[in-house]
Amino acid sequence: MSLSSAGPSPQEGSSTCPGTPEGTTPAAGGPPTCAGVAPELVRSVLERIGDKWSVIVICRLGPEPRRFNELRRLVDGITQRMLTATLRGLERDGLVTRSVFPTVPLRVEYALTDSGRTLLDVVQALVGWAGANAETVHVARTEFDRRAREQPQPVGAG
């Protein structure tokens, strides 16, 4: 299996988030932080929500519990392998619960936990940002991309 962060990385820190990192340059001798949290921890979250499917799955689990193939249809382009892996990772982090119903065709339902719901809130903020800045980013990207084809050769441009 080749999931992300499979090894033990016990770097919990103080779990405090003051939120006032005003130019304190803590990197010079102290532990490099983002907003009072170690980047290792940030990395951990990013790896979880940035693995291409976790966020979408979390959003789909928002309203109500979902069955495996139900999620599979909802997520659209996801493969069985990835859905399983994503769900397992989310379950491992205590973000979703896995309920097995020993019926004949076998039924498994997934639902967000309390922690998962709090993450959903943050994730939706991210999605909201994406929606609000989609056009801006697209324009900037196009501009940059276009300009990158004119700047490269300042010599002989005239």
Residue 35 near residue 19 (C-beta atoms within 8 A): yes
Q: How many residues are given for the chain?
A: 158
- Closest approach, Cβ 105 to a second copy, in A, equals 21
Taking only Cα atoms into account, the Rg of the chain, rounded to an integer number of angstroms, comes to: 21
Identify residues 110-149 at the interface with a second copy (CB under 8 A).
115, 118-119, 122, 124-141, 143-145
Identify residues 37-96 at the interface with a second copy (CB under 8 A).
37, 39, 41-47, 49-52, 55-56, 59-60, 62-64, 73-76, 91-95
96 binds, among DNA, a second copy, none (CB under 5 to 8 A by kind): none
Residue 76 structure tokens:
């659209």
Q: Which residues contact 16 (CB under 8 A, 6 or more apart)?
A: 36
Alpha carbon 74 to chain centroid distance?
Answer: 18
Does the protein bind a second copy through residue 108 (CB under 8 A)? no
Q: Which residues contact 108 (CB under 8 A, 6 or more apart)?
A: 67, 68, 98, 99, 100, 101
Residue 100 structure tokens:
């097995």
- Closest approach, Cβ 146 to DNA, in A, equals 16
Identify residues 93-112 at the interface with DNA (CB under 7 A).
98, 100, 105-108
Considering the complex, state which of residue 5 and residue 113 has its C-beta at the smaller distance from DNA: 5
80 binds, among DNA, a second copy, none (CB under 5 to 8 A by kind): DNA
1 binds, among a second copy, DNA, none (CB under 5 to 8 A by kind): DNA
- Scan for tokens 């959003």, then name that residue: 59
